Structure 1
């Protein structure tokens, strides 16, 4: 049986999101950097967060067996962000995504969580390719994506918005 989430790391706990994580998701979705580089989802209330979580993470878990995972500090269980595997309409391969709350940026938490997610994708989920989708002007995320071992593959235009994003990729199988 496949594990439901990546292994914990030295400093972090990772698990599937639940509706009890609505406050964390409100923080993620309303972080100015998230709004700038990913988009404003217009989610401002716990009720809206619950609806978005049912249509997003919970649907991913049900459909694919993976999705975003709650990242929390291992010692205190304080939630600090999300990292996980997503599926996007119009794209064939799953992609890794991450977002840490602003007060936890710059401590290597996103890298640590992403390494655990990549290992989970490879060993437990048996994925052969993992992409990352990033705004071409998001230098911090591009730096992390490259550090994780993904390489630039191509530019992609979202059909609904016309926005250009960069797609990075890595092979997970030898």
Structure 2
């Protein structure tokens, strides 16, 4: 099910058919370094993670992390969407792309669409975002989208610093 469309991209609900792509994405060294090592190493485990993560979130909350595809060939390049974490008071935006699609403006295009969706469709007044302090590209992207650094925190269950950003919607 398609949720959003931009000039070059479609964002759609993840399905278990995306397990191979998802497995590759979450085991990319950049994902592990900047986001988290989920410890998922098999297609079966990836399918289970999709069911228990994005699909459950979509059914329960009406939003989730979406697969980002190029419009012209439906090539999955990354994920971008919204997450409700127990450790944060606000819903947050999350995104990750396979390395061959980084630096081409896809993350900015997808994230901008998700921010607009959070405000205009979901009627959120505040959106959060978290990043690794050393993830310069992600930190710059969030600032470009209007997020403001609120604090550097250690989230519950974590041991490393995380930058916490917020975006307050006006009007």
Task: Report the TM-score, using the length of structure 2 for normalisation.
Answer: 0.95
The aligned runs of 1:118-133 (5 Å cut-off) are 118-133=115-130
Q: 2:57 maps to which residue?
A: 60
Secondary structure at the aligned position of 2:5 is classed as coil
Q: Does 1:35 align with 2:27?
A: no
- Select the residue among 113, 117, 124 that pairs with 1:116: 113
For residues 26 and 47 of structure 1, the distance between their equivalents in structure 2, rounded to whole angstroms, comes to 10
Question: Unaligned 5+ residue runs, structure 1?
Answer: none
Q: 1:12 maps to which residue?
A: 9
- The superposition leaves residues 97-146 of structure 1 with CA deviations (integer Å, 9 ceiling, x where unpaired) of 11111001000000000111111111111111111100111111101111
Question: Unaligned 5+ residue runs, structure 2?
Answer: none
Secondary structure at the aligned position of 1:93 is classed as coil
Do the aligned residues in 2 keep the contact of 1:68 with 1:82 (CA within 8 Å)? Answer: yes
Do the aligned residues in 2 keep the contact of 1:6 with 1:116 (CA within 8 Å)? Answer: no
Q: Does 1:101 align with 2:103?
A: no
Secondary structure at the aligned position of 1:106 is classed as coil
- The superposition leaves residues 16-75 of structure 1 with CA deviations (integer Å, 9 ceiling, x where unpaired) of 111111112112101110000112111111100011111211121122110101100100
Q: 2:46 maps to which residue?
A: 49
Do the aligned residues in 2 keep the contact of 1:9 with 1:116 (CA within 8 Å)? Answer: yes
For residues 149 and 28 of structure 2, the distance between their equivalents in structure 1, rounded to whole angstroms, comes to 26
The alignment's C-alpha RMSD in Å is: 1.2
Secondary structure at the aligned position of 1:103 is classed as helix
* Aligned residues between the structures: 171
For residues 129 and 24 of structure 1, the distance between their equivalents in structure 2, rounded to whole angstroms, comes to 31
Q: 1:135 maps to which residue?
A: 132
Q: Does 1:163 align with 2:160?
A: yes
Task: Report the TM-score, using the length of structure 1 for normalisation.
Answer: 0.94
Do the aligned residues in 2 keep the contact of 1:6 with 1:117 (CA within 8 Å)? Answer: no
Q: 2:146 maps to which residue?
A: 149
How many Å apart are 1:5 and its aligned residue? 5.5
For residues 7 and 17 of structure 1, the distance between their equivalents in structure 2, rounded to whole angstroms, comes to 13
For residues 91 and 154 of structure 2, the distance between their equivalents in structure 1, rounded to whole angstroms, comes to 17
